[in-house]
């Protein structure tokens, strides 16, 4: 003799659909925010400039902005580059406009050898208009 249970286990389809929607939204926002963080390094760049008493304001016509962060990468106008890529891109801009100037923003916590490396690249290219950013 077989005993039949009176209970029917039924899963509500509305709860499955809501769970699916919530999980999909979570995945969407997780991926969106991770992509925003990954592809906008310039906005997240925290460069603490050194202090100087005798600074002046600088407003050139055309300039190249180079930033050296405290944790390693070098940025050219917001784009993260290696030293070799930096040299190529700065040289191509200098070849197009020999009167171009450079604004160098180096983090005060960064080792001086990286700053000297960038200065050496700029000197080797022939750039004579160089400004180093500081705070008063």
CATH number at residue 118: 3.30.420.270
User: Which range, 72-76, 119-123, 127-131, has the best average confidence (pLDDT)?
Assistant: 119-123
User: Where in the sequence is the domain holding 18, given as residue range(s)?
Assistant: 9-39
Q: In what order do the strands lie in the sheet with 130-132?
A: 79-81, 74-76, 63-68, 101-106, 130-132
Confidence grade of residue 42 (pLDDT, cut at 50, 70, 90): very low
CB-based contact 66:75 (threshold 8 Å): yes
Question: Does one domain contain both 29 and 78?
Answer: no
Number of domains in the chain: 2
Please determine, for residue 56, whether its predicted confidence score (pLDDT) is greater than 60: no
């Amino acid at each position: 003799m077989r005993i039949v249970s009176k209970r029917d286990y039924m899963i509500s389809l509305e709860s499955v659909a809501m769970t699916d929607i919530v999980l999909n939204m979570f995945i969407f926002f997780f991926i969106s925010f991770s992509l925003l963080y990954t592809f906008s390094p310039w906005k997240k760049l925290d460069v603490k400039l050194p202090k100087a008493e005798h600074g002046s304001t600088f407003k050139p016509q055309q300039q190249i902005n180079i930033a050296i962060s405290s944790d390693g990468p070098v940025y050219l106008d917001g784009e993260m580059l290696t030293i070799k890529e930096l040299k190529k891109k700065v040289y191509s801009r200098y070849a197009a406009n020999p009167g171009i100037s450079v604004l160098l923003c180096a983090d005060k916590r960064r080792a001086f050898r990286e700053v000297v490396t960038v200065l050496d690249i700029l000197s080797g290219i022939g750039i004579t208009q160089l400004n180093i950013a500081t705070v008063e």
